[in-house]
Structure 1
Amino acid sequence: MDIKTTEKTEEKTSRPEPETAEAAADAVVDPRGGTDGDPGAPSGDVSGARSDAPDDSELDGEPDDELNDDELDDDELDEAATVTETAAEDTGIGAGAAAVVSAALGAVALTGTWTGKVVSERETLMGQISTSQGGSTAQQISEIYGDAWHSTALVNGLFALLALIVALVVLTLPRRPGWVRAVAAAGAVLGGLGLLLSVGTYFDLFLSLPTAGS
């Protein structure tokens, strides 16, 4: 009986007590830092640190907003450039047309116009009517021929002056193509020459009216 009692006592002694096993389990290292049950590293601190970190959605939103703003700026710049190019094209077309018109008016002032011819014939007819009932030779020459010539010179001078004004306006415009400036310069030269000839003819500077004794 004593032998059995001694064996049971040894078995009880070799078995670990429950409290000792639980203490060993508590001693397992916590992967978040410290051991379980350690008051120095509570689990609430880790969650609080994570909550203080910025949200990924917030970080992702800012670059998107910046990219959208850049895209809007690029679109506005493209629209402004398109409007500027369109305005420049319209202005270039108008300047080119004005230059061509000035050159045409200058050429017409030198060669004569249908309007000038009509005015000259009218003056000739009026001179014939006024001298039909009698008049001296000098009076007939002045009213039949002189007035007609002067009227033609006046009409051509008006066309030359208009050509010169249009050409000068085109030349003063900035950033005009080379061909526009060339045509406008030609119109200015033709207009100036036509104006000079018209003024000389109107005031009889180049050719005077013939006299009755010549």
Structure 2
Amino acid sequence: MTATPTPLTKTDNEADAEATAADTAAQASDAPEAPAAPEASRDSSEKASSDDVLTDEAENDRDGDEDGLGDDTPPAGPLRTGIGAGAAAVVSGALGLASLTGTWMGKVLSERETLLGQIKTAQGGTASAQIHEIYADSWHTTAAINGGFALLALLVGAFVLARPAFGAPDAHPQPVWVRAVALGGLVLGAIGLLLSVGMYFDLFATLPSTGSGS
């Protein structure tokens, strides 16, 4: 006679425990994974922040490059002003020097006056008339031409030196060499003008006389 195995039966407490475990697992599987969403949002925020930083750095670099190019390229207005002042100063110096040494124009006009004097006195004339027509008019013409160049040198030099006083308040100061050349032209022009006036009115040397009064 064989013995039949007795079936194992679960108590009520074990059944309740298994049911509770099954419900907890089901709730856990149905609930969304909370930690995943904050991690993804944090990654996207960090990426957006890094993109903003790179964009700001690129804009700053571009602005810096533009500012650097602007600093290297001087404004057109002051540059033209400096070139014009330098050229005027050189012209003033050249005119002042020409008023002292003479010019081609003065020489030609002087020779013309000499020729006219010879023509006028060719048919006869006193010695005094010959001196006046041939020599005096020629000297006076040369003095007048040199005086004109001296006056121009004075005006141009004075304009260059006085221009900053009448310019814009934010105008750049003139270079030292420009003021030095303009001052040199001004001085040469003043000396040339004094000499020309003296020669024209025979202050430094009088006309020769024949001694006969004729």
> How far apart, CA to CA, are the structure 1 residues paired with 2:193 and 2:177?
24
1:192 aligned onto 2:190: yes
**Structure 1 residue aligned with 2:153:** 163
Q: Does 1:43 align with 2:70?
A: no
Q: Which runs of 5+ in 1 are unaligned?
A: 29-34
Mapped to 2, the partners of 1:74 and 1:13 lie a distance apart of 82
The one-letter amino acid paired with 1:13 is K
**Could you say what the CA RMSD is over the residues aligned between the two structures, in angstroms?**
3.8
Task: Report the Cα distance in structure 2 between the residues aligned to 1:93 and 1:187, rounded to whole angstroms.
Answer: 17
Q: How far does residue 55 in structure 1 lie from its aligned partner after superposition?
A: 4.1
Shift of 1:146: 1.4
Following superposition, the deviation at residue 149 of structure 1 comes to 0.7
Name the % identity: 46
Bigger mean CA deviation after superposition, 94-103 or 187-196: 94-103
How many residues end up aligned between the 2 structures? 201
Counterparts of 1:81 and 1:170, CA distance in 2: 27
1:76 equivalent in alignment to 2:74: no
Structure 1 residue 50: Cα displacement: 7.3
User: Distance between the aligned counterparts of 1:51 and 1:13, measured in 2?
Assistant: 46
Distance 2:127 2:32 in 1: 132
* Equivalent of 2:176 in 175, 178, 181: 178
SS at match of 2:146: helix
Tell me which residue corresponds to 1:32. Answer: none
Residues 1-214 of structure 1 correspond to what in structure 2 (within 5 A)? 8=6, 11-13=8-10, 17=14, 20-24=17-21, 26-27=23-24, 36=28, 43=32, 55-84=45-74, 92=82, 95-171=85-161, 172-173=163-164, 174-213=172-211
Q: Comparing 15-24 with 119-128, which one deviates more in the overlay?
A: 15-24
Listed one character per residue, the Cα deviations across residues 23-70 of structure 1 (whole Å, up to 9, x for unaligned) are 235547xxxxxx7389xxx63877777788764443333333322332
- Unaligned 5+ segments in structure 2 are 165-171
Q: Which amino acid aligns with 2:141?
A: S
Higher relative contact order (CA 8 A, sep 6+): 2
Q: Which moved more, 1:160-169 or 1:124-133?
A: 160-169
